[in-house]
Structure 1
């Protein structure tokens, strides 16, 4: 059966159609936050089959398959790739209302020219056709990036990474700029078991002995310098529970030493360490001109049995519901008081925080760049039609959507760039609906300026590309 992805998919009025087809459709992509493998870009890898490029590591699909009663053997287990794909194909018809249904068919159409619904009847033919095309130069990773007009990729990198693939890609002058992003979560989570081994790894990366908190800060600062030298434009922080607890450097140094000695810390000591360290990082980011991205509100690893079996990032995370306003205000205000607040993007996994973050961003704007503090795009569980519309409307209600830096994939799959198309169609439909309802004028030049800015130009300016 032919798919429902027509030229006017998700465009429900004439203004929306005009904005998308004349403007949004043709703009390049800046994907400033994702989890793509830079080594595979360097290798210009061709994936062998759909399971490799589509299902491996994709916990969105894994969760849907589990909800459909699929055995774990067909998800993360040792079943053959073809069997796993058929299990996914059997799940797809059950995903109405979930963005996975749209993403799946957009990706089949855009990358493989397959205009068929995926189900148990079509699975075999789609498996054969897509796999044949995957093993051609036209679907190597770099070919995909060029085809999608991806100008910039911001990967996610630990401060201890050697960035070899980034360095080699820069030497080659590949048409897509592949930039590292600084993700120091393991260095902030002093309460986690892995902290001590990570500090040792940081010492090795900096060829230094880390014996005290000053040594630790010096090592982190040197990695900020190293990342800057190799094209880094931003940091990224996964902050499940927002913290803010004031402390002196001396107090934090004592807590650091206790932890290095294997002692347990109090909740207050943990928050003091995280706060002082993240403020120090924020100051360095401001000096380097980086963007600081804060992803707030995930409740991770809820299923202990499955976490012990499979580890993190395997589909057992959900939405947290703790209050964030006072602590995010304290953190941002501390940096602003020092005139060291970097460009900052605030994301929340809980949509109840949307009004909080949209209003909080307005407290710390600056003449140095429009929209210096951003209420970031709908993230993870909110990356849906309703979620994206809500985020855009709340931003417009409380701030200025005209300066919004738009969409990112946050993805581990090289087939996810069609999500930018998804976002652009939804954006154009929101603007077009406002026109049709008489809420904004049908000034096509002004509306096209909004679309160009939100889809491409604002991010280009914001990340200084």
Structure 2
């Protein structure tokens, strides 16, 4: 039996046309990473990485989650007393067993693209690869900024709360001389989750930073609008982001919303229907503000947050204990889009459904709200979170091209906290070019090479640049 012993540059490219398309047109296209969670503070401070363990295991809940499935002790995953070297060795021991898992491919791509290593990482060669990569980190001064520039990233959008002062964005804008433009997405979730005990304290902070006294729902919206303006003034952003874990639409009146808002500020108990009414009103009104201020509305749909609450209490939130939910109905999000359409205030919108088994339904919904004057006004966004691997990406192309023109897609993102996760764009591009090659091979697509080149370059870079109005030069 003959197995590949090294990384193959034909990864996911199973037909000649797809391979040609990838290597000629997609391979060297620059990156717009329009949604991620990297730290602007870390980017500004631009510290050189300590080692490969820090690169891979600092804040990467994908790897943490996988390591737990192998029964690895938490001290080798998130433990503060364990060195990155020892965490790396624990991870290297199980990586060869992650057959079929995207983590195996992501790590292979990262070893190849940042260190030129094309052999598989195993328990046996883990120390040798550790020392080699550590030496290269020092030799090439692999800082946070170096990794982004090395990956040909032209723009990155972090994600910040409306009360953030954007201090590090200001410093980057003033002092960073590299080739990566840094903006931020506006993420107002804490103003939507009024059922949480922290809601009143949060509004007090929002009132302080916005300069608006918040006495009611309308004045809270004014405060948020002020912060939208601030975010755009500081970074030039046109990106917003709303998380909808288990949203259910409920019709409402203004009087009802003001009554619910007052109850929440008094920390009184709210019914499930009252929470649903408030969140329905909140998302509609934020959509109106996004439209008015020239933002794209991103809706991340269907997360089962903190599923393992015992794990969250021990380790913290966003550490690998979130799951996929199937309770957020297409009709509920459709009601938001419909209400905004009726008002004539529907902004450009990206839908990120986490439940990949219903992806076709969401593609149909998106197509139903496109209209004259704006290309792909509402669209299915990149395969997100648990779907951002070869199977999920390929599934989305194959199922949704029947329902929504994939040529209009704004392409891939990292949704990552890691500064070396940009090969995920490469993975996406490989899968897409292979898909196009299969269509050509079967005779389902016939035309000129220029047609395909334009589609590939649009999905890799141009569509996102146009959709968000970034104006980035390639």
Q: What TM-score do the two structures reach when normalised by structure 1?
A: 0.97
Equivalent pairs, count: 465
Q: How far, CA to CA, are the matches of 2:297 and 2:66 in structure 1?
A: 32
Maintained 8 Å contact 1:138/1:144: no
The secondary structure found in structure 1 opposite 2:78 is: coil
1:293 aligns with 2:298: yes
Check conservation: 2:13, 2:430, Cα contact below 8 A: yes
Contact (CA 8 Å) 1:2, 1:115: kept in 2 or not? no
User: Residue 467 of structure 2 is aligned with which of 432, 452, 462?
Assistant: 462
User: Which of residues 118, 123, 127 is equivalent to 2:121?
Assistant: 118
SS at the partner of 1:23?
helix
Contact 2:247–2:332 under 8 Å retained in 1: yes
Match runs of 1:54-203 below 5 Å:
54-77=56-79, 78-172=81-175, 174-203=178-207
Distance 2:211 2:5 in 1: 56
> Once the 2 structures are TM-superposed, how far is the Cα of residue 132 of structure 1 from its aligned partner?
2.1
Tell me, what secondary structure is at the counterpart of 1:200?
helix
* Cross-structure match for 1:302: 307
Output one character per residue of 1:353-387: Cα deviation in whole Å (capped at 9) or x when no partner.
20111000111112332111111111111112111
C-alpha contact 1:358 1:394 (8 A) present in aligned 2: no
Structure 1 segments, 4+ long, off by >6 Å, are none
CA contact (8 A) 1:405 1:458 kept: yes
Q: What CA distance in whole angstroms lies between the structure 1 residues aligned with 2:9 and 2:375?
A: 34
Secondary structure of 1:156's counterpart equals strand
- For 2:23 and 2:427, the matched residues in 1 are separated by 13
1:146 deviation in Å?
Answer: 1.7
Question: How much has 1:143 moved relative to structure 2?
Answer: 1.9
In structure 1, what is the Cα distance between the partners aligned to 2:359 and 2:189? 23
In structure 2, what is the Cα distance between the partners aligned to 1:232 and 1:35? 15
Counterpart contact for 2:199–2:265, Cα < 8 Å: no
Q: 2: CA distance between counterparts of 1:450 and 1:194?
A: 46
**For the Cα contact (< 8 Å) 1:42–1:168, is it kept in 2?**
yes
In structure 1, how many angstroms separate the alpha carbons of the residues matched to 2:202 and 2:348? 27
Tell me, yes or no, if the aligned pair for 1:41 and 1:141 is still in contact at 8 Å: yes
- SS of 1:26 mapped into structure 2: coil
Measured in 1, the distance between the counterparts of 2:233 and 2:178 equals 18
One of 223, 232, 235 as aligned partner of 2:237: 232
State the shift of 1:214 in Å: 2.8
Aligned match of 2:41 = 39
Please state if 1:211 is matched with 2:215: yes
Aligned mates of 1:368, 1:229 — CA distance in 2: 27
In 2 relative to 1, CA 415–2 (structure 1 residues): closer, same or farther, beyond 3 Å?
farther
**Which shows bigger deviation, 251-260 or 318-327?**
318-327
* Mapping 1:402-421, distance limit 5 Å: 402-421=407-426
Q: Output one character per residue of 1:70-114: Cα deviation in whole Å (capped at 9) or x when no partner.
A: 111111123222111100001101100000000001101100112
- Looking at structure 2, the residues matched to 357 and 124 of structure 1 have their Cα atoms a distance apart, in angstroms, of 46
2:17 aligns with 15
- SS at structure 2 position matched to 1:135: helix
What CA distance in whole angstroms lies between the structure 2 residues aligned with 1:316 and 1:456?
Answer: 33
Which residue of the partner structure matches residue 337 of structure 2?
332
Q: Tell me what 1:385 maps to.
A: 390
Q: Extract unaligned runs of 5+ from structure 1.
A: none
Alignment of 1:298-377 (within 5 A): 298-377=303-382
Q: Which residue number in structure 1 is paired with residue 449 of structure 2?
A: 444
The farther-off stretch of 273-282 and 354-363 is: 273-282
**TM-score w.r.t. length of structure 2:** 0.95
Shift of the alpha carbon at 1:229? Answer: 1.1
Instruction: Return the offset for 1:138.
Output: 4.5
Answer yes or no: is the 8 Å Cα contact 2:158–2:183 preserved in 1: yes
Per-residue displacement from partner, 1:231-250 (whole Å, max 9, x unpaired)? 12111111111232222222
Secondary structure of residue in 1 paired with 2:368? helix
